[in-house]
Structure 1
Amino acid sequence: MKTRILAIVALAGTFHVWSAEAAPSSVTAAEPTPEQIVSDFRKDLEAKSADVMAKTLTLTADQAAKFWPLYKEYQKEQAAIVDGQIQATQKYAAAYEHLTDEEALTYVNALLERDQKVHDLRARWLAKFQTVVPGTIAARAIQVERRLGLVHQVGVSSQVPLVR
């Protein structure tokens, strides 16, 4: 159950950015571990998010030279928050069959804490982005990140079973 939920979490949020992907090659590889799934997912998600961001922002060469290094830092901080969500989901998956009240509340509180951390991250980085690009571009960057995050969270939360 733990591996199944973890794989779902890693893959469910990909539907919004992977829909135009080419079919996988015919080479069959060994089944990836949950850790490999998460690692590959994170790399792909970061690359796809940066691609979406690049397509929605119109930056001058000077703005791009300043913005993209900051965006990479933002993604690193965001990855740490995602790690926390993955860990909470792993614990939830491991205990799912015999979940106690305490474990259920711990999981939901972890999700709420994740939401707050993401909110705080975006607010902090909105200010940082404004130091290198105009406010409208910084606002658009956060707006795009928020949309990507919402779609991802809907995909993930719709696949993780509710507490029973």
Structure 2
Amino acid sequence: MLLFGFQSFAQNAEMEAFKDLFNSEKKMALGEFLDLETSQSAKFWEIYNDYTEERKDLANRRIALLKKYAYQYGTFTDEQASEIVKETFSIRDQSDKILWKYYKKYEKEFGAKTAAKFVQFELYVQTSIDNELQTAMPLIETK
């Protein structure tokens, strides 16, 4: 039991380190992509930090969903498959709502082009992650 708890802690610590590294690299790439003026930078990153904080729960829900999928793979009941699909759509819906909320904040502060460029970057990253996950995940067996 103690070993399992330690292993779980180590995996969680590793996951947190990975998320921190990913977010740091993503932020650097976004900064290069947007090429903000110095006068805009502080306000942009203040809003962005709020955005990433608001998305943390979604990231955790998505990781939990992937773990659930992996754990139940090959033994899915119809009910479990339905729960996974419902949670997937719930996460996507919430993600879109948060992105729209922050698009409007950026549009108000920096104009539509900068806000649209932010959305373009976010959707590119999200789509890239989705593509990688879909490529790596085995399909649900129906037989």
Normalising by structure 1, report the TM-score: 0.75
2:68 aligned with 1:68: no
- Structure 2 CA distance for aligned equivalents of residues 57 and 68 of structure 1: 12
- Structure 2 CA distance for aligned equivalents of residues 158 and 36 of structure 1: 26
The 8 Å contact of residues 84 and 114 in structure 1, kept in 2 or not, is answered as yes
More helix by share: 2
2:5 aligned with 1:34: no
- Structure 1 counterpart SS, 2:109: coil
Partner of 2:4: none
1:26-50 residue CA offsets vs partner (Å, 9 max, x unmatched): xxxxxx9432332122112211111
- Higher RCO (C-alpha under 8 Å, 6+ residues apart): 1
1:101-130 residue CA offsets vs partner (Å, 9 max, x unmatched): 111111122112211111111111100112
- Structure 2 counterpart SS, 1:98: coil
5+ long unaligned stretches in structure 1: 1-31
Instruction: Give the letter aligned to residue 110 of structure 2.
Output: V
Partner of 1:141: 118
Partner of 1:129: 106
5+ long unaligned stretches in structure 2: 1-8
The 8 Å contact of residues 57 and 137 in structure 1, kept in 2 or not, is answered as yes
Partner of 1:79: 56
Size of the alignment, in residue pairs?
134
Instruction: Give the letter aligned to residue 63 of structure 1.
Output: Q
The 8 Å contact of residues 74 and 140 in structure 2, kept in 1 or not, is answered as no
- Structure 2 CA distance for aligned equivalents of residues 36 and 109 of structure 1: 28
Q: Structure 2 matches for 1:4-153, cutoff 5 A?
A: 33-153=10-130
Aligned-residue RMSD, C-alpha = 1.8
